[in-house]
């Protein structure tokens, strides 16, 4: 149920003004996180007694119509998608100061954090995670939506039971997603360096860019570090454009050939040679390893929707090399630190600088969205 709300203030205060529906319907429990856009809070629906996530986006951050259109774009896309591995949108309001997005609450935090809480991690679990992720992305592509920012930070876990180690992956953040038409070439170079496809850097791409990012995530899940690594964005981009990555380190010695084959098929430089998300879902590695607690890959819903259980070990589970988890921990901590520094820099830039930087991005975003 979507509602639009405008705060009405009576200047003479003779009659009480309408109260913000967030205050009326929800109890704010705690702040989960803050970003340049605003903040995310854990809230409880008073009547339904359910926990949800509230994303508050400050309008003052968005000065032009193009920028405001981007928020509306995120909402319109979230209304179109409906999948067990995509975070649900429940309500959307706005007043003069903020946009309020009420979403499904994911209690397990970021994917990598959930993995790092475990003592071991196996190819079977990686296959479960990839099945859920690829199923969500295939659903978006089927609805002619390209996410454009598939990365571990945008994969949250809806943890059903910490003890049972069963969790469900949820894709979040459709802030830079866009609708596409089959032959349309998108041009906005956007995304996060480690996960960005070569054709996005070159500025002519389609929805296959999401499959590349999923391939990068699979690589990291199996060895703990990204395939294209560098000190700064440019050196990462150079490696991506050259397609320079390897399976040479010791972490790869215990990984199956089938997993490496799938990564190769997802990290094909030319999008036309790369698997689609739906094809990747049917890959032999997924079929071989996606068995955890659900009866295997045949146990999919009519639209290729997997049963959402990760972590129930099938009979033969071979844990990955211990150093892969150590590498993952180092990589994750480094990324968290980088994000904190970037948020600090963004908050200390003056408004004019922020506006110029955002405007350049939004202008091009607008041209892709048209």
**From 86, 106, 134, 171, residue interacting with ligand 3AM (rule: CB under 6 A):** 106
Tell me which H or E stretch contains 146.
Answer: strand 145-146
Nearest residue (beta carbon) to ligand 3AM:
33
**From 22, 26, 40, 221, residue interacting with ligand 3AM (rule: CB under 6 A):** 40
Closest to ligand 3AM by CB, 171 or 277: 171
Contacts 24+ apart (CB under 8 A), 196-203: 196/237, 196/240, 197/240, 197/271, 198/240, 198/241, 198/243, 198/269, 199/271, 200/148, 201/237, 201/240, 201/241, 202/241
Q: Which of 128, 138, 1, 161 shows the shortest CA–CA distance to 83?
A: 138
Q: For 77-143, give the DSSP string.
A: HHHH---TTBPPEEEEEE-SSEEEEEEE--TT-BHHHHHHTSS--BHHHHHHHHHHHHHHHHHHHHT
Q: Which residue has the tokens 């002619």?
A: 144
- Burial of residue 246 (CB within 10 Å: 0-12, 13-18, 19+) is exposed
Closest to ligand 3AM by CB, 51 or 270: 51
Q: Segment 109-128, which members bind ligand 3AM (CB under 6 A)?
A: 110
Closest to ligand 3AM by CB, 124 or 177: 177
> Rounded to the nearest whole angstrom, what is the least distance from the CB of residue 80 to ligand 3AM in the complex?
18
**From 105, 112, 212, 362, residue interacting with ligand 3AM (rule: CB under 6 A):** 105
Tell me which H or E stretch contains 355.
Answer: helix 351-369
Q: Which of 225, 252, 226, 251 shows the shortest CA–CA distance to 240?
A: 226
> Rounded to the nearest whole angstrom, what is the least distance from the CB of residue 170 to ligand 3AM in the complex?
7
Would you count residue 32 as binding ligand 3AM (CB under 6 A)? Answer: yes
- Regarding beta strands 89-94 and 26-35, do their DSSP bridges make them parallel or antiparallel, or are they unpaired? unpaired
Closest to ligand 3AM by CB, 87 or 114: 87
Q: Segment 43-62, which members bind ligand 3AM (CB under 6 A)?
A: 53
> Rounded to the nearest whole angstrom, what is the least distance from the CB of residue 154 to ligand 3AM in the complex?
8
Q: Segment 133-192, which members bind ligand 3AM (CB under 6 A)?
A: 156, 172
> Rounded to the nearest whole angstrom, what is the least distance from the CB of residue 244 to ligand 3AM in the complex?
30
Q: How far, in Å, CA of 356 to CA of 149, rounded?
A: 22
Stretch that binds ligand 3AM, among 102-110, 120-128, 186-194, 228-236 (CB under 6 A): 102-110
Closest to ligand 3AM by CB, 104 or 355: 104
Q: How far, in Å, CA of 59 to CA of 93, rounded?
A: 12
Size of the site for ligand 3AM (CB under 6 A): 13
Q: What is residue 276's DSSP assignment? A: P
149 is catalytic: yes
Q: Segment 67-96, which members bind ligand 3AM (CB under 6 A)?
A: 87
| H helix intervals, 247-300 | 257-266, 277-281, 284-289
Of 82, 95, 96, 149, which residue is the catalytic one? 149
> Rounded to the nearest whole angstrom, what is the least distance from the CB of residue 148 to ligand 3AM in the complex?
17
> Rounded to the nearest whole angstrom, what is the least distance from the CB of residue 91 to ligand 3AM in the complex?
13
In this structure, the chain runs to a length of 370
Stretch that binds ligand 3AM, among 10-18, 28-36, 227-235, 322-330 (CB under 6 A): 28-36
Stretch that binds ligand 3AM, among 10-18, 32-40, 234-242, 343-351 (CB under 6 A): 32-40
> Rounded to the nearest whole angstrom, what is the least distance from the CB of residue 106 to ligand 3AM in the complex?
4
Q: How far, in Å, CA of 137 to CA of 126, rounded?
A: 16
Closest to ligand 3AM by CB, 110 or 300: 110
Residue 223 makes CB contacts below 8 A (sequence gap 6+) with 249, 251, 252, 255, 324, 327
Q: Which of 256, 233, 248, 278 shows the shortest CA–CA distance to 123?
A: 256
Q: Which residues bind ligand 3AM (CB under 6 A)?
A: 32-33, 35, 40, 53, 87, 103-106, 110, 156, 172
Report the catalytic residues: 149
């Amino acid at each position: 149920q979507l509602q639009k709300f405008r705060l009405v203030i009576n200047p003479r205060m003779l009659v009480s003004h309408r109260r913000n529906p967030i205050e009326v319907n929800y109890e704010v429990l705690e702040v989960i996180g803050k970003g340049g856009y605003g903040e995310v809070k854990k809230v409880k629906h008073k009547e339904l007694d359910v926990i949800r996530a509230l994303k508050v986006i400050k309008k003052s951050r968005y000065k032009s119509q193009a920028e405001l259109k981007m928020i509306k774009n995120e909402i319109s896309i979230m209304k179109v998608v409906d999948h067990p591995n995509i975070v649900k949108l429940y309500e959307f309001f706005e007043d003069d100061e903020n946009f309020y997005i009420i979403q499904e609450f994911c209690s397990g935090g970021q994917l990598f954090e959930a993995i790092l809480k475990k003592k071991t991690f196996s190819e079977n679990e990686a296959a479960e995670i990839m099945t859920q992720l690829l199923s969500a992305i295939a659903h978006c592509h089927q609805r002619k939506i390209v996410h454009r920012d598939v990365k571990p930070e945008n994969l949250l876990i809806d943890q059903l039971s910490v003890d049972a180690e069963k969790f469900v992956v949820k894709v979040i953040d459709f802030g830079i997603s866009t609708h596409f038409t089959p032959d349309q070439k998108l041009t906005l170079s956007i995304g996060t360096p480690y996960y960005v496809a070569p054709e996005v850097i070159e500025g002519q791409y389609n929805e296959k860019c999401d499959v590349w990012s999923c391939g990068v995530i699979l690589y990291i899940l199996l060895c703990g570090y990204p395939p294209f690594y560098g000190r700064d964005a440019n050196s990462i981009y150079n490696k991506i454009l050259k397609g320079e990555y390897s399976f040479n380190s010791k972490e790869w010695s215990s990984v199956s050939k089938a997993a490496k084959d799938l990564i190769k098929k997802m990290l094909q430089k030319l999008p036309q040679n790369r698997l689609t998300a739906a094809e990747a879902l049917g890959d032999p590695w997924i079929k071989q390893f996606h068995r955890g607690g659900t009866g295997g890959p045949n146990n999919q819903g009519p639209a290729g929707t997997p049963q959402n259980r990760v972590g129930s070990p099938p009979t033969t589970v071979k844990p990955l090399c211990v150093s892969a988890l150590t590498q993952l921990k180092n990589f994750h901590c480094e990324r968290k630190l980088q994000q904190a520094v970037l948020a600090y820099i963004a908050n200390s830039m003056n408004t004019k600088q922020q506006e110029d930087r955002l405007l350049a991005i939004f202008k091009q975003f607008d041209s892709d969205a048209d």
